[in-house]
Structure 1
Amino acid sequence: MMTAPVDILVVGAGPAGLTAAMYLARFRRGVCVVHDGRSRALWVPRTLNVPGFPEGITGPRLIERMADHATRYGAAIREGRVTAIARAGALFRATLDDGDGIEARGVILATGVETRLAVLDKGDHDQAVRIGVLRYCPICDGYEHSGERIAILGSDIHGAAEAMFLRQFSRHITLIPKWDVALSEAQRSELAASDVAIVEGRVERLAADAEGIAVQIAGEAAPRAFDILYPALGSVPRSELALTLGAAGDDDDCLPFTAFSDGLLPGLYAAGDVVAGLDQISVAGGQGAMAATRLHNWLREIEGHKMADQN
């Protein structure tokens, strides 16, 4: 079943997609947001670095407010998974997992990333995140763990870089490999100079409770106790829709940083975590606003509603 064409299809209802939808609705564009309910913002227990919320706000509440903001101006939001997008003449044609189709003159992809999660041998993962003993974003919440015993689970330069970043908040930083420590002697020296401890043994067991994280290292008699664990295992961008349309990604399939400003292809933009750069709620919102405005102006040019010499 194909619905009547809309001006813009936004794929994803996280901070980037919902900001884009709000802007487009206020530009008097017909905008439809399709999302699969998997925005990473939904499992943020409480964020304290979103401007305007000094007391903090939970991820679900933030998304609820942003969705309400967009729909108040006329954006339509529906849950579903976009399985494919193809060009159909001057339109984009999206296929949904329930068999429906949506045609749109332009598309903004705000599909985010899949975080590689730590696997707990004991304790509930989501509960550990909610109570703050398991974290995934040191930029978001490193400040809240100042002075605590912090472990970073990561074997290579990514884990080392995260350990060095967190060193600014605490003197008690330990880098723990998932398997082997894949660091050069120079990198080890940098960590040592900053008093970052490196554990050489392999992790055998991770356990979480209300008191913190216990990490059992192979060959050690007792588990090591930490207040918090940051897995530095990376993420996988959800960029497959853009790539199948012919857009280019980097070596990790992240979309280029200019995807929200210059676009990927005529009529196709992207914003948020799927774009290479800093994965932050405020950044995603700014990129969503930029993508919406650029796409709106692109349509204005086609419609003859833009000054010919306007940049």
Structure 2
Amino acid sequence: MHKSIIVGTGPAGLTAAIYQARANLNPLVIEGPQPGGQLTITTEVENFPGFIDGIMGPELMEKMRKQAERFGARFLRGWVTEIELSKRPFVLKVDGMEDMKAKSIILSTGASANLLGGIPGEKEYIGRGVSTCATCDGFFFRNKKVLVVGGGDSAMEEANFLSRFASKVTIVHRRNELRASKIMQNRVRQNNKISWALNKEPTEIMADGRGVTGLRVRNLESGEEETIVTDGIFIATGHTPNTVFLNGQIETDEKGYIKVMPGTTQTTIPGVFACGDVQDSHYRQAITAAGSGCMAALDCERFLESPPASYPRIRE
């Protein structure tokens, strides 16, 4: 019987582990197939407080993990396939292992960026010219040419943000019409640093071994192909929260992000808390994820100290 199990790592899960371990809750952290989350495929992180010269994403995650281990957090590499939340204690099914029981659960499984569908060079150059976060990486493209792939509001937001740094921003979209709201489209069209490459489908990311050099696209009307020269490619086709394994047991919004009570990390099920990108579709930053991880740990600690009267007593 575990007092608390944290599902997922990243800045949110690891911060929750640090706080829970220091509170003598002996948390078990179940790492997924990508321990550390999206920061493990990020190169330099310059906006996390405390690192004057920046820090590599994998190094930051390793430091946070060791800090949690120092206070007694335990880590287990595994894939959670299902969680039974209809009874207490909660039961977690982990692939290839015996079922685990917990009095409380913190979900920090994050959200995965929607990529273009495995075109050549896409995954290979993540962090080396290909990015899914303009606010994270835009600064590195000061006075350079960049592309934004996508046609929704998030793509328009990314393009506007990148225009603060880049010398030129080109929006690439496979249709002539955009999904973005009219107000967002108008803001972009009024920006003289942003141009358009519509009705063009990306087919390959070009690179020279060190970084991105261009994007190969096919004109969907004529069938002709061309290479758009660029220094960076920002994929802005949205994110998908990693919540499939919950099988609809917890209330989510229309995009699938876990709903929490305002001002807390408490989900619709007492004793289950959510932090990081799995419940945040707006900010998606390492520092905000870490902050919500702290909140989840404190919320969980208070819950374990004085659970609601309706919550059944659980023997150790």
How would you bin the TM-score normalised by the shorter chain? 0.7 to 0.9
State the distance in 1 between where 2:258 and 2:136 align: 22
Instruction: Name which of 220, 233, 237 aligns with 1:233.
Output: 237
Asked if the contact 1:108–1:291 (Cα under 8 Å) also holds between the matched residues in 2, the reply is yes
**Equivalent position amino acid for 2:174 in 1:** K
State the distance in 2 between where 1:50 and 1:279 align: 13
Using the TM superposition, give the Cα deviation of residue 187 of structure 1 relative to its aligned residue in structure 2, in angstroms.
4.9
Using the TM superposition, give the Cα deviation of residue 145 of structure 1 relative to its aligned residue in structure 2, in angstroms.
1.0
State the distance in 1 between where 2:265 and 2:58 align: 31
SS at match of 1:105: strand
CA shift in 2, pair 1:76/1:105, >3 Å: same
The residue aligned with 2:255 is 252
Question: Aligned residues: percent identity?
Answer: 25
| Equivalent runs, 1:98-113 vs 2, <5 Å | 98-113=96-111
SS at match of 2:54: coil
CA shift in 2, pair 1:120/1:213, >3 Å: farther
State the distance in 1 between where 2:183 and 2:26 align: 55
**Equivalent position amino acid for 1:34 in 2:** I
Say if 2:131 is the partner of 1:135. Answer: yes
Asked if the contact 2:122–2:205 (Cα under 8 Å) also holds between the matched residues in 1, the reply is no
Say if 2:160 is the partner of 1:157. Answer: no
CA shift in 2, pair 1:19/1:187, >3 Å: closer
The residue aligned with 1:190 is 187
| Equivalent runs, 1:73-84 vs 2, <5 Å | 73-84=71-82
Deviations 1:69-122 (A, max 9, x none): 111111110000111111475311111101321111100000111211235654
Q: Which stretch shifts more, 165-174 or 211-220?
A: 211-220
Deviations 1:2-21 (A, max 9, x none): xxx01100000211111101
State the distance in 1 between where 2:305 and 2:183 align: 54
State the distance in 2 between where 1:11 and 1:273 align: 13
The residue aligned with 2:205 is 207
SS at match of 2:90: strand
Instruction: Name which of 286, 289, 292 aligns with 1:284.
Output: 289
**Equivalent position amino acid for 1:235 in 2:** H
SS at match of 1:208: strand
5+ residue gaps in structure 1?
305-311
Using the TM superposition, give the Cα deviation of residue 54 of structure 1 relative to its aligned residue in structure 2, in angstroms.
2.4
Using the TM superposition, give the Cα deviation of residue 248 of structure 1 relative to its aligned residue in structure 2, in angstroms.
0.8
SS at match of 1:273: helix
CA shift in 2, pair 1:180/1:289, >3 Å: same
Asked if the contact 1:259–1:270 (Cα under 8 Å) also holds between the matched residues in 2, the reply is no
CA shift in 2, pair 1:160/1:258, >3 Å: same
Using the TM superposition, give the Cα deviation of residue 30 of structure 1 relative to its aligned residue in structure 2, in angstroms.
2.2
Asked if the contact 2:148–2:155 (Cα under 8 Å) also holds between the matched residues in 1, the reply is yes
The residue aligned with 1:46 is 44
CA shift in 2, pair 1:108/1:147, >3 Å: same
The residue aligned with 2:306 is 301
**Equivalent position amino acid for 2:113 in 1:** T
SS at match of 1:190: helix
State the distance in 2 between where 1:280 and 1:259 align: 19
TM-score by length of 2: 0.86
Asked if the contact 2:216–2:225 (Cα under 8 Å) also holds between the matched residues in 1, the reply is no
Instruction: Name which of 88, 91, 94 aligns with 2:89.
Output: 91
Using the TM superposition, give the Cα deviation of residue 134 of structure 1 relative to its aligned residue in structure 2, in angstroms.
0.8
Using the TM superposition, give the Cα deviation of residue 146 of structure 1 relative to its aligned residue in structure 2, in angstroms.
1.6
Using the TM superposition, give the Cα deviation of residue 155 of structure 1 relative to its aligned residue in structure 2, in angstroms.
2.0
Say if 2:244 is the partner of 1:269. Answer: no
Asked if the contact 2:171–2:195 (Cα under 8 Å) also holds between the matched residues in 1, the reply is yes
**Equivalent position amino acid for 1:6 in 2:** H
Instruction: Name which of 117, 125, 131 aligns with 2:122.
Output: 125
State the distance in 2 between where 1:84 and 1:121 align: 31
Using the TM superposition, give the Cα deviation of residue 188 of structure 1 relative to its aligned residue in structure 2, in angstroms.
4.3
**Equivalent position amino acid for 2:272 in 1:** L
Asked if the contact 1:9–1:108 (Cα under 8 Å) also holds between the matched residues in 2, the reply is yes
Using the TM superposition, give the Cα deviation of residue 181 of structure 1 relative to its aligned residue in structure 2, in angstroms.
3.2
CA shift in 2, pair 1:259/1:118, >3 Å: farther
Asked if the contact 1:120–1:208 (Cα under 8 Å) also holds between the matched residues in 2, the reply is no
Using the TM superposition, give the Cα deviation of residue 51 of structure 1 relative to its aligned residue in structure 2, in angstroms.
1.0
Q: Which stretch shifts more, 152-161 or 19-28?
A: 152-161
